[in-house]
Amino acid sequence: MDWITIISTTVKAAIGVETVWYALAAIGINIHFGYTGLLNFGQSAFLAVAGYGLAVTVTVLGLPFWIGIGVGLLAAVLLAVVLGIPTLRLRADYLAIVTIAAAEIVRLVFRSVAFKDVFGGSDGRRGFSDGFYALNPFPEGEYGFGWLLFGERTLWVLVVGWILVGISCAIVFLLMKSPWGRVLKAIREDEDAVRSLGKNVFSYKMQSLILGGVIGCLGGFIYGLAYASVQPDIFGTETTFFAYTIVILGGAARVFGPVVGSAIFWVLLVLVNGVLSGAVESGIITFMDSTQVGPFRFLLVGLGLILLLVFRPQGIFGDKREIAIDAR
């Protein structure tokens, strides 16, 4: 087995593009679910409208990169408002149903034949990232040391991505220490009590939905820019569920929970994949072939998650005392 490759891909995964964009999506989920108690099962739609907003603005309309970013952000805010107005006055489970359906509608519209000229059908859109890489301050070449090397494009995406993660965490930290965050956490516990204390619950839930959606949508930009393309099926429901897994893994309602959760999630996936593929190739494991390794690693991750919920339900950063209180 090629241990150097396995270890280098694993270490790269810890800070890689996947970790970054899933961390952003999960930070959004953490605001919705962890702090406000909103069951948003349509986070992938926020990533999708941002990625496609950027892609379509640049490729189809021929407008500059920054306008594309603006369109993507605006699309995320609009999506939050449209989802929120009918559902936020209702019980939490309605939001879950509507958001998961809306995310599928968004994905199916993006891959539909009828809108192929605009969204590019199931092939998606490519060729919109030149404006981003034109800003790249790193000259051509390999960066890093030993076997930990990144090309200048990847490095640029990662630098921008981690800056965005840092800013998002700082915003979450500031907000959740503030009276505004206190209202959100109170809504998670009991929104009627918050109403009886003179707070406009609907408005706070809407602000939370918009904020989490906008931070999540940054993940859509990072994906689109890193791979220089967007495809509809990247933004399927499993993206949302991975993000939920990451939030629970890291510990809900913790500032760095989603970031560490995302790193651990991808490190595990890549490590298990590397070790299993290596073992299959070198004939140590004979009961499956290399194509079965991909699905099998998700099976192991699922098992790991079950064990986590049994032995550490509060996640990595969570507070055990909080889990112990379940008065509801």
Partner 1 sequence: MHAESAIDRKAAALAAFKDLDREPGVPKPDPILVVDNVVRRFGGLTAVDVGHVEVQRGSITALIGPNGAGKTTFFNQLTGFDTADSGQWTFNGRSMNGVPAHKVARAGMVRTFQLTKALSKLTVLENMRLGAQKQLGENFWRALVPAVWRGQEGEITDRAEELLARFKLDAKRDDFAGSLSGGQRKLLEMARALMVQPELVMLDEPMAGVNPALTQSLLGHVKDLREQGMTVLFVEHDMDMVRDISDWVIVMAQGAVIAEGPPGTIMSDERVIDAYLGAHHDAPLSESDLAEQLHEAEVALEAEFEEETKK
Which candidate, 295, 294, 316, places its Cα nearest to that of 305? 316
Residue from 130, 190, 233, 238 in contact with partner 1 (CB under 8 A): 190
Residue from 171, 264, 279, 301 in contact with partner 1 (CB under 8 A): 171
- Rounded to the nearest 10°, the torsion over CA 100, 105, 106, 109 is 160
Residue from 1, 74, 97, 201 in contact with partner 1 (CB under 8 A): 201
Is the Cβ of residue 199 or residue 312 nearer to partner 1 in the bound state? Answer: 199
Residue from 113, 134, 197, 310 in contact with partner 1 (CB under 8 A): 197
The CB-of-255 to partner 1 minimum distance in angstroms stands at 14
Residue 293 near partner 1 by CB under 8 A: no
Residue from 192, 283, 291, 320 in contact with partner 1 (CB under 8 A): 192
Residue 188 near partner 1 by CB under 8 A: yes
Residue 178 near partner 1 by CB under 8 A: yes
293: left (phi over 0), alpha (psi -120 to 50) or beta: alpha
Residue 167 near partner 1 by CB under 8 A: no
The residues that bridge with 126 in the sheet, in sequence order, are: 229
Q: What is the DSSP letter of 135?
A: T
Which candidate, 278, 291, 156, 124, places its Cα nearest to that of 222? 156
Residue 196 near partner 1 by CB under 8 A: yes
The CB-of-200 to partner 1 minimum distance in angstroms stands at 5
Residue 185 near partner 1 by CB under 8 A: yes
Distance CA 280, CA 248 (A): 31
Residue 39 near residue 95, CB atoms below 8 Å: yes
Taken in order 183, 185, 188, 194, the sign of the CA dihedral is negative
CB crowding 136-170: b at 16 or more within 10 Å, else e: eeeeeeeeeeeeeebebbbbbbbebbbebbeebbe
Is the Cβ of residue 207 or residue 239 nearer to partner 1 in the bound state? Answer: 207
The CB-of-87 to partner 1 minimum distance in angstroms stands at 17
The CB-of-81 to partner 1 minimum distance in angstroms stands at 15
Residue 164 near residue 218, CB atoms below 8 Å: yes
Is the Cβ of residue 89 or residue 116 nearer to partner 1 in the bound state? Answer: 89
Residue 243 near residue 126, CB atoms below 8 Å: no
Residue from 93, 123, 233, 322 in contact with partner 1 (CB under 8 A): 322
Q: Supply 119's token pair.
A: 């969204």
Among the listed ranges 55-63, 93-101, 178-186, 274-282, the one in contact with partner 1 (CB under 8 A) is 178-186
Distance CA 83, CA 89 (A): 11
The CB-of-321 to partner 1 minimum distance in angstroms stands at 7
Question: What does each C-alpha distance from 325 to 189, 314, 321 come to in angstroms?
Answer: 11, 12, 7
The CB-of-6 to partner 1 minimum distance in angstroms stands at 41
The CB-of-183 to partner 1 minimum distance in angstroms stands at 6
Residue 36 near partner 1 by CB under 8 A: no
The CB-of-311 to partner 1 minimum distance in angstroms stands at 21
What is the CB neighbour count within 10 angstroms for residue 179? Answer: 7
The CB-of-271 to partner 1 minimum distance in angstroms stands at 34
Which residues lie near partner 1 (CB under 8 A)?
171, 174-175, 177-183, 185-186, 188-190, 192-201, 207, 211, 321-322, 325-328
